[in-house]
Chain A
């Protein structure tokens, strides 16, 4: 029987091959052949960037670094390592002037609102640049953060396609190692870098390693809560994670439409995004 951490082991070469083809296929079938990616210096965007570069050719990928005044300088330095390694095109666009008026007008201690505003400003830049570069926005959200809702609605979760959305953070690390991403990118503590000293795991209150082990049982293996407790997780932790998944379902859906007609978008008007391609 596999251990909890063995459950999360993947063959990264298999994922690598499928994801490169996914990016190439899903972009090129639209008639476009380029990608735009928000490159933060973190492991997720570094992976998206590297995969896109391989799928489309580095000259067809535009990595955009979008620091805010309070962003850690190390983030930008790490992003530059990725740009160097992959050979992608790049731009640095500081978002401070875009959001400062909004953030300055907030009441004190509204870090979350300020953080969300920054994430949404980055989305604006990304989508504008995608029009200019004639490419699609490739997302960087992983399965852990999507399930827990650790994203900004219409912010970092906005993209055309998302190659990493079915990989847990723990699995992304294996893929990053396999693809030999720069060591500082692989090793540092994950952070949205929305305020000084922020780290994901401090904010979440648990480690990615532990929550991924639980999410794998709950989601992938469809374990009941009591089965998770038998597997060794604290009841309160199980309850908290289940509730967090449930509470954040709205971030994974289209806005709710009230059904009135016999055929309603989101209910019985059913076509794939890839319709006709």
Chain B
């Protein structure tokens, strides 16, 4: 397929009220369908709200057809592919900040957030387990990768997705706005937009970012969802702070045109990267290699 109508569901959520949030998801799916959206990406923890703290266990849901929350979403995924944010609980009762890619009634892929910010205002590591893998997966638009917020504040996960074949990266965030200064943009927005553009440019891939809006206590989520193309050009940006369904047409042929001109992927030497990482971390007592 050479074009993709991509939707970013820049929504508010109700903290800890999964049923209410499910209704909001279904509402946005309806709206997206009327605009011909083929893939709709919801933000981080879109089904539960973000600052769950001790609510985390109660907000967990299973991405299977029998689950009362995922049942309707899997059904809806027959109309368009979906990425939804939720709390996943594994068989050993560890909880993960997660994103599920749903397509044609199936859960195609679940990503567990690997990097959990536990500093400053963030306390994710207190309530959640760290994810253990970074994997691209196949869709009818090619190989895709999903990351959640802090995951792309580290260069390594997008790099791994790129090496694993992803030409479309979907980032899902619940990013609290911070850094008021002279600019007409908060520092958090500037930083995130900056790195999104850099990843799109460096990996010559489409990079889409779905960020939520609304407040939880005094934290506000700033929206401003974006899509950057393989040239690092901005395709679309959602408004700051407002709920919005941000829709864009991606010309997937741009990947080929950019990589013909700028074959960074072709020339990338991952064997060298692996050798050097092994050299750098060899003989470590584990201090440098967090593994």
Interface residues of A (CB under 8 A from B): 6, 9-11, 13-15, 17-18, 21-22, 25-26, 29, 161, 165-166, 171, 268-277
Contacts and interface: CB of A to CB of B under 8 A. Distances in A.
A26 B55 contact: no
Contacts of B53: 270-272
Contacts of A9: 181-182
Among B53, B177, B184, the one with the most A-chain Cβ atoms within 10 Å of its Cβ is B53
A271 B55 contact: yes
30 contacts: A6-B182, A10-B180, A10-B182, A11-B183, A11-B184, A13-B184, A14-B180, A14-B184, A15-B180, A18-B241, A21-B215, A21-B220, A22-B215, A22-B220, A25-B215, A29-B215, A161-B218, A165-B218, A166-B180, A171-B180, A268-B54, A270-B53, A272-B15, A272-B51, A272-B53, A272-B217, A274-B216, A274-B217, A276-B14, A276-B17
A171 B181 CA distance: 10
Nearest to A15: B180
Residue of B177, B214, B216 most packed against chain A (CB within 10 A): B216
Given A25-B214, A276-B14, A17 B181 contact: no
A277 B217 CA distance: 10
A17 B241 contact: yes
Interface in B54-91: 54-55
A95 B140 CA distance: 71
A270 B54 contact: yes
Nearest to A19: B220
B182 to A, nearest CB: 5
A161 B215 CA distance: 13
A18 B220 contact: yes
B282 interface: no
Contacts of A15: 180
Contacts of A269: 54
B105 interface: no
A11 B15 contact: no
Interface in B23-54: 51, 53-54
B244 to A, nearest CB: 14
B189 to A, nearest CB: 10
Contacts of B108: none
A276 B180 contact: no
A274 B15 contact: yes
Given A21-B220, A275-B55, 15 more contacts: A9-B181, A11-B183, A14-B183, A15-B180, A17-B241, A22-B218, A26-B215, A29-B215, A166-B218, A171-B180, A271-B54, A272-B53, A273-B217, A276-B17, A277-B14
Which 6 A-B pairs have CB atoms at the shortest separation, nearest pair first? A270-B53, A25-B215, A9-B182, A270-B54, A272-B217, A11-B184
Interface string B150-177: 0000000000000000000000000001
Nearest to B241: A21
A13 B186 CA distance: 11
Nearest to A25: B215
Contacts of A21: 215, 220, 241
B241 A11 contact: no
B230 interface: no
Max chain A Cβ within 10 angstroms of own Cβ: one of B15, B16, B180, B183: B180
A272 B184 contact: no
Interface string B182-197: 1111100000000000
Nearest to B213: A21
A184 to B, nearest CB: 27
Contacts of A268: 54
B242 to A, nearest CB: 9
Contacts of B218: 22, 26, 161, 165-166
Contacts of B14: 276-277
A11 B220 contact: no
Contacts of B15: 272, 274-277
Contact of B16 (A14, A161, A165, A276): A276
Contacts of B55: 271, 275
Contacts of A18: 177, 220, 241
Interface string B204-226: 00000000001111101000000
Contacts of A271: 53-55
A16 to B, nearest CB: 11
B48 to A, nearest CB: 12
Nearest to B181: A10
B288 to A, nearest CB: 25
A21 B185 CA distance: 16
Most buried by B among A13, A26, A268, A272: A272
